[in-house]
Each structure stands twice: as structure tokens, then as C-alpha cells.
Structure 1
Amino acid sequence: MADCVFCAIVAGAPADVVLDEEHFVAFLDVRPLFKGHVLLVPRVHVVTLPDLPAGLRDGFLEATQRLAVAATTALGAQGTFVAMNNIVSQSVPHLHCHVVPRTKGDGLRGFFWPRTKYADGEAAACAAKLREALAAVDG
């Protein structure tokens, strides 16, 4: 879809890509809740989870699992927060799953989520760590 920012990333627009596979792409959120906050998207443009073709459902969840493992091994997170919005609060109308590294006492409460920023070069380094951890998970 021509005006979709996530479709542009899938097509090769600049992003800190963490996972690049046949059906899915994952990249760092440019306004992360915490550093290492990843968005997983299907390559095909679908707006919501109910729109996701049946043949992609298992792979989407499996990729989400692998990203959650990578967040804990690569970034020292104690766990992850995994979420999707469908229409309401969906800032980009392209299905995406948030995988956010979490630690006890990190300050994330309820649904009032502060956003952070990466320093120069920090996003690329974080993405590289996550790619390495994914390679180990896939190993």
C-alpha cells in the first residue's frame, strides 16, 4: 500500500530491522516504550489481526515468541510486554505486534506509557544485539 509507513519499511525504507523473513519483518519502534521495543509486521498489508490470512497466523505468533526470547537474552530484560491494537489506538493501520522488553520497577503502569528516544547509533547497536539473539534462538 503506497501510503503505509510499514509497507514502505517492508519494501526497504530505512529502519533498524531486527528480523527479515519471507512473511514477516520486525524493526525497532522509533518511539519506544523502552529501548529494544520491536514492531513485528506481516509483509502483506493487512490492517487488523482478524484480517491476517489463516496461513500466516502460526508464523506470526512464532516470530513473536522468538522476539520475546531475543529481548530477554540480548537486552537483559526480565520479561516482555506483548500487545496489538486493532483500530482503536492503532497509530499505523497495518497489523503490528509490539514486543517490549521489561524489568521489574521499569515504571510502566496501566496504559499511560512514556516514550523514549535512542541516542545516535544506539538503535543500530540494539538492533544488532537482537539479530544476534534471534540467530541463537533459530540456531
Structure 2
Amino acid sequence: MSAGLKVQAARLAQAVPALREAYSQALARWVGDPVLRLLALPIITECYRSPERQDELYKQGRSKPGPIVTYKRGGESNHNKLPTPALDVAFLLPDGEVSWSGLLLSKFARLMKAADARVHWGGDWPKFKDRPHFEVVG
């Protein structure tokens, strides 16, 4: 197993079983589609996140440079539970770059929600659109 696959497996292992299964099903459908497979490969950028890491992300766009990426402080995010009901996804492009394309994320969200009706996508949230974020509720 390559180092990249080991990292992906380790991140996915941090998720609750229902989220692991939904992600695995969505990933299999993605790589099974010849067009989607050529566009990009979904990757998990974060699953479990320590409260300290959460606080660092909370500072972004406030006391640190960059856009606001979260409204949750350490201990408030579903990412801060282990096993975690939340994970974040990006895409590895053919040129090796990483993308957070809203179009690709919306396509992957459809596959995630089809895999398990309990999956909620941050792109559907009414106020703060967190397109890389997926979580299992209930």
C-alpha cells in the first residue's frame, strides 16, 4: 500500500462506521465512473481534529490571515469527537494539485447522500457553506 493510501485509510478509520461506509461507497462509485475518475480523485483532508487544531482553524480569518473556515471553537465541532461523525474532502487532480472545486464537491455530495440518507453535506447549510464537509447525523 502506498504512503498516500495508508494516510487515506488511517483518516477514514477515525470515522464512525456509517460515515466510513458512505464514503467508501461514494468513492467506489466515483472511481467506477470513467469520466469522474479522469477529472480527479476524492481524498479525505481531515477526519478527526484535535480541539487545539480546531482552535487554530477558528483563528483563521480572525486573528490569523486567510478566509474564515469554521465557526466552531475547539470541542464544539463534530470533527473533535473520536470516532468522528465528520470528514472533509478535496480532490487530487491529474497534475498532482489539490482542488476544493464546488462543482466536484457537489457531484461527490450526491454520491455520499445516495450512499446513506443520514449524510449531511456542508454545502447544503443555509448560512455558512462548508462544501468540503460531510457528516452523519443521527
Task: Give the TM-score normalised by structure 2.
Answer: 0.33
Task: Give the TM-score normalised by structure 1.
Answer: 0.33
Q: Which has the higher contact order (CA 8 A, sep 6+)?
A: 1
Higher helix share: 2
